[in-house]
């Protein structure tokens, strides 16, 4: 499968992950705004629970990838990277930039 197809498919998959992951983030946001106890509970869960950190990292990773791929698509809408070779280079750059941002997000969360 060409790298351009992989990048496009991952863009769609990360959009779905964001849609589903935002349910959990909205719930945590609602809890944190409900009261001081709710806020403290959310902070405690996010600091001490591996699964909660993993979910947050997953949603942030999906956001990073989706953002980078979205910017690439905006450039393509302007007429750039439409040729086969430049499209491959842009897709590879998309993957590299997204991996770097995802790793930085992992360091920041943990």
Q: Is 66 annotated as a binding residue?
A: yes
Q: Cite the DSSP H helix spans in the chain.
A: 3-34, 36-48, 50-77, 84-109
Number of residues in the chain = 110
As a whole number of angstroms, the distance between CA 86 and CA 10 comes to 19
Q: Which of 8, 4, 5 is nearest to 86 (CA)?
A: 4
Task: Specify the DSSP class assigned to residue 79.
Answer: T
As a whole number of angstroms, the distance between CA 94 and CA 73 comes to 10
Q: Residues forming the annotated binding site?
A: 66
Q: Residues forming the annotated binding site for heme?
A: 66
């Amino acid at each position: 499968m060409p790298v351009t197809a992989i990048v496009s498919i991952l863009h769609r998959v990360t959009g779905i992950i964001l849609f589903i992951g935002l349910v959990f983030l909205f719930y945590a946001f609602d809890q944190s705004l409900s009261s001081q106890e709710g806020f403290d509970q959310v902070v405690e869960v996010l600091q001490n629970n591996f699964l909660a950190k993993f979910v947050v990292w997953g949603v942030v990773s999906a956001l990073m990838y989706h953002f980078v791929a979205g910017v690439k698509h905006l450039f393509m809408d302007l007429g750039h990277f439409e040729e086969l070779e430049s499209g491959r280079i842009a897709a590879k750059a998309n993957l590299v930039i997204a991996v770097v941002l995802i790793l930085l997000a992992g360091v920041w969360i943990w």
